[in-house]
């Protein structure tokens, strides 16, 4: 009985040593970071959250058919993941308000910066600064231009636009005051468009605003202006 107990303890110890050796791998510590840029070299404006544009990674070091992992991008178009294994990856940016892009293979080791350049469906630009009307409504002016599609790709029609207003900086389609109407009748491109909030703003409050426009594509994501602030005294 004593011999059996000694043998059991021996094998248990060997198993423990073996498991320690298996777990003795370095934790993933490589970093991938970068920014999604538009066709003018500007940061692509996006939404914060799960429904946002994604960077797709596929690690090619161990498999020719890897399981993809997706990173959500930040509101300013930047992204980062600092818990990756070093190796060769296939990268692409997906599910965004831009024409499809081609995946690229990148070697990730240490800290790797990789920017993507995309052609947005729509460019939106402010005209002047937001103003407050005498009855405390926010009024803005902007213009838009639809970018041409690459060869062999259909240029989608613009469907609607909206003035997004919020009391937090993460203003967008997933964080806004729904009191301002969705506009479905679109003026001509490259003309001055005025939008005014439906209701007066609260006193002593700072608002974050931007305009977004969608096209008739699969994902129905918005192209945006940059974010501006308006403080109501």
Task: Report the helix count and the strand count for the chain, using DSSP H and E.
Answer: 1, 16
Nearest by Cα to 219 from 96, 50, 118: 96
CA gap 101, 92 in Å, rounded: 7
Nearest by Cα to 121 from 143, 142, 97: 97
Strand, coil or helix: 5:
helix
Nearest by Cα to 225 from 163, 139, 176, 150: 163
Beta strands 111-113 and 116-117 are unpaired
pLDDT digits (tens, 9 = 90+) for 81-132: 999 999 999 999 999 999 999 999 999 999 999 999 999 999 999 999 999 9
Q: What predicted TM-score, i.e. pTM, was given to this entire model? A: 0.86
Domains detected in the chain: 30-117 (2.60.40.1120), 122-232 (2.60.40.2060)
Q: Is the pLDDT of residue 11 over 50?
A: no
């Amino acid at each position: 009985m004593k011999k059996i107990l000694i043998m059991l303890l021996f094998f248990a110890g060997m198993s423990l040593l073996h498991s320690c050796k298996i777990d003795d791998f370095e934790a993933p510590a490589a970093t991938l970071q970068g920014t999604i840029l538009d066709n003018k070299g500007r940061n692509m404006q996006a939404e914060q959250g799960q429904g946002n544009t994604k960077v797709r990674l596929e690690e090619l070091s161990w498999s020719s058919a890897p399981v993809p992992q997706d990173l959500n991008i930040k509101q300013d178009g930047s992204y980062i993941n600092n818990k990756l294994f070093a190796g060769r990856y296939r990268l692409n940016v997906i599910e965004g308000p831009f024409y499809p892009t081609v995946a690229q293979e990148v070697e990730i080791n240490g800290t790797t910066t990789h920017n993507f350049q995309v052609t947005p469906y729509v460019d939106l630009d402010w005209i002047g600064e937001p103003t407050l009307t005498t009855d405390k409504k926010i009024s803005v002016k902007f213009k838009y231009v639809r970018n041409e599609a690459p060869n062999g790709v259909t240029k989608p029609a613009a469907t609607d636009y909206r003035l997004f207003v919020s009391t937090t900086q993460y203003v967008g389609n997933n964080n806004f005051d729904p009191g301002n109407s969705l506009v479905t009748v679109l003026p001509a491109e490259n003309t001055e468009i005025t939008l005014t909030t439906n209701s007066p703003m609260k006193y002593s409050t700072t608002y974050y605003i931007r305009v977004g426009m969608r096209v008739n594509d699969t994902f129905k994501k918005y192209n945006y202006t940059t974010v501006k602030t308006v403080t109501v005294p």
